[in-house]
Chain A
Amino acid sequence: MHPRLILDSKKLDLTITRLCHQLIEQHKEFTGAAILGVQPRGVMLADRIYTRLREILGNQHIDYGKLDITFYRDDFRIKGKPIIADETNINFSLENKNIVLIDDVLYTGRTIRSALDALLDYGRPADVELLVLIDRRLHRHLPIQAKYVGRIIDSITTEKVKVEWKETDGEDKVWMIEDKD
């Protein structure tokens, strides 16, 4: 199977802009809301969303944090090697906030399950919403659904979605590739 391009940089940019407008529609000036990127790949998307939101809202202050979920994963000791954690950086209180959790791909839902556990250790938010760039809706292991979705993809388990970013991979692109693992 050849790698299949799902989103090129232009479409990805449009999608991010649309997601931002959806967020503004819901949260207006973001006074009671905060965005939280899931480490490591969700943060790349969250960075873009944060920057674009501030552009649209005219440099409005938005609470933005990064959440690492390594210690909350349910596959620790199954993978054979420990997973190395990334930085968690949340310098605001989650208490009674509307939290928008951001990740790049929603697949089995296990990462988001871990992220929910992790963020509840920081306080009790008013509610938590999920934003993802790609939703692989056919493979959920847990009852988890995103509220804001960039693109829905129907795929099979031997396929894998690869999100590339300009900062790390040279260009913004989303691919469907064959999963060799």
Chain B
Amino acid sequence: MSALSTKHLVGIKNLEKSDIDLIFQTADNFKEVLQRPIKKVPSLRDITVANIFFEDSTRTRISFELAEKRLSADTINFSASGSSVKKGETLLDTVRNILAMKVDMVVMRHSSSGAANFLSQHIDANIVNAGDGIHEHPTQGLLDGYSVREKLKELKGLNYLIIGDIKHSRVAGSDIPLMLKMGAKVKVCGPPTLVPKYIEELGVSYEPNLKKALEWCDVANVLRIQLERMDIKFIPSLREYALFYGVNRQLLDSIKKDITIMHPGPINRGVELNSDVADSKQSLILHQVENGVAIRMAVLYLLAGRN
């Protein structure tokens, strides 16, 4: 295999296992590039990438932009605030106008689930989904898988736990299919109100008790409580959530295993994750951020090479 089976990265759902292996393998090469004195290669020097962010983002936007620059692509950035979107322009019109300026790839984040898929059906440029509503965030899924593979060598047979707000999490939306495709076992843990009703249909199991779930897993990905996506009260209070589902040192010490802790960021310290865990050796959080650039370089490189 030397090419991806798809022209767009809309979701992990649309990738084959061989695609994921290829992205990981290519990311290994780019990780080496990022260690060099000159952290830049000329591969995409004839490509222009538009980063279109209809929703706020710090980490993902910077990570994509850095990945594009490390590959020598030209970049333009667009954010919804202060743009024509406020004047009533539709998504398709906005993107078509940007593409009329000869842009080859579009990295898009949007608050509506399915926005990337919609766009991929209407335009020619390669689309990379940087998060669509509560659907998927494929590069986050890939970098989570890559970071675990880097630390534990293999994903196959691994027990992977996702804790927290599964219902509103596009990270869970990408992590679940990625881990299952790579042969890991997945369990989710969180208050019943924040776990989708038919989650077992995806091939994952549900455990409401945090301690039991942690005892089962090798790796735990702790998700952020996304208050901005909750239009009704799903939990009584953050304080109560922290009490039942907050991961802290005391809890981890009470478990015999050495669990690897992940978090997609930004962390609500003291709510879902305590500082004594987030900043400990068990935490992969900063490795995730570091690997994000290499993974995004690999995705952009492989998609651009398919033309």
A residues engaging B (CB < 8 A)? Answer: 68, 70-72, 76-77, 80-88, 117, 120-123
Assembled-state Cα–Cα distance A113/B3 (Å)? 25
Assembled-state Cα–Cα distance A81/B26 (Å)? 14
Residue of A nearest to B43 (CB): A71
B32 in contact (CB, < 8 A)? yes
Interface residues of B in 1-46 (CB under 8 A from A): 2-3, 22, 25-26, 29, 32-33, 36-38, 40-43, 46
CB–CB A117/B42 < 8 A? yes
Binds A, one of B196-204, B229-237, B299-307: B299-307
A-B contact pairs, 25 of them (CB 8 A): A68-B29, A71-B41, A71-B43, A71-B301, A72-B42, A76-B304, A77-B46, A81-B305, A82-B2, A82-B3, A82-B304, A82-B306, A83-B2, A83-B305, A84-B2, A84-B22, A84-B25, A84-B26, A87-B32, A88-B32, A117-B42, A120-B38, A121-B36, A121-B38, A122-B36
CB < 8 Å neighbour of A72 from B3, B29, B41, B301 = B41
CB–CB A76/B36 < 8 A? no
Assembled-state Cα–Cα distance A87/B30 (Å)? 10
Assembled-state Cα–Cα distance A7/B100 (Å)? 56
CB–CB A76/B2 < 8 A? no
B-side contacts of A122, CB under 8 Å? 36-38
Assembled-state Cα–Cα distance A70/B33 (Å)? 12
Assembled-state Cα–Cα distance A180/B168 (Å)? 55
B-side contacts of A86, CB under 8 Å? 29
CB–CB A71/B305 < 8 A? no
Interface residues of B in 114-128 (CB under 8 A from A): none
Which DSSP category, helix, strand, loop or mixed, fits chain B's interface? loop
Assembled-state Cα–Cα distance A80/B306 (Å)? 6
Assembled-state Cα–Cα distance A102/B40 (Å)? 23
Assembled-state Cα–Cα distance A80/B302 (Å)? 11
Given A84-B25, A84-B26, A121-B40, CB of A71 within 8 Å of CB of B33? yes
B-side contacts of A85, CB under 8 Å? 26, 29
Residue of B nearest to A73 (CB): B43
A-side contacts of B301, CB under 8 Å? 71, 82
Assembled-state Cα–Cα distance A120/B307 (Å)? 29
A-side contacts of B38, CB under 8 Å? 120-122
B-side contacts of A76, CB under 8 Å? 43, 304-305
B-side contacts of A123, CB under 8 Å? 37
Assembled-state Cα–Cα distance A62/B71 (Å)? 32
B-side contacts of A83, CB under 8 Å? 2, 305
A-side contacts of B41, CB under 8 Å? 71-72, 121
CB–CB A121/B2 < 8 A? no
Interface residues of B in 252-300 (CB under 8 A from A): none
Interface residues of B in 60-83 (CB under 8 A from A): 71
A-side contacts of B26, CB under 8 Å? 84-85
CB–CB B42/A77 < 8 A? no
B37 CB, min distance to chain A CBs, angstroms: 6
Assembled-state Cα–Cα distance A81/B33 (Å)? 21
CB–CB A81/B37 < 8 A? no
B-side contacts of A72, CB under 8 Å? 41-43
B-side contacts of A71, CB under 8 Å? 29, 33, 41-43, 71, 301
A-side contacts of B36, CB under 8 Å? 121-122
Assembled-state Cα–Cα distance A80/B33 (Å)? 23
Assembled-state Cα–Cα distance A56/B32 (Å)? 33
A-side contacts of B42, CB under 8 Å? 71-72, 117
CB–CB A77/B305 < 8 A? yes
Sort A-B residue pairs by CB-CB distance and give the 3 closest, nearest first.
Answer: A82-B305, A71-B41, A85-B29
A9 CB, min distance to chain B CBs, angstroms: 31
A126 CB, min distance to chain B CBs, angstroms: 17
A-side contacts of B304, CB under 8 Å? 76-77, 82
A97 CB, min distance to chain B CBs, angstroms: 14
Given A71-B42, A121-B40, A122-B36, CB of A81 within 8 Å of CB of B29? no
A-side contacts of B25, CB under 8 Å? 84
Kindly list 19 other residue pairs between chains A and B, CB separation below 8 angstroms, not including A71-B29, A82-B3, A82-B305: A68-B29, A71-B42, A71-B301, A72-B41, A76-B304, A77-B46, A80-B307, A81-B2, A81-B306, A83-B2, A84-B2, A84-B22, A84-B25, A85-B26, A85-B29, A87-B32, A88-B32, A121-B36, A122-B38
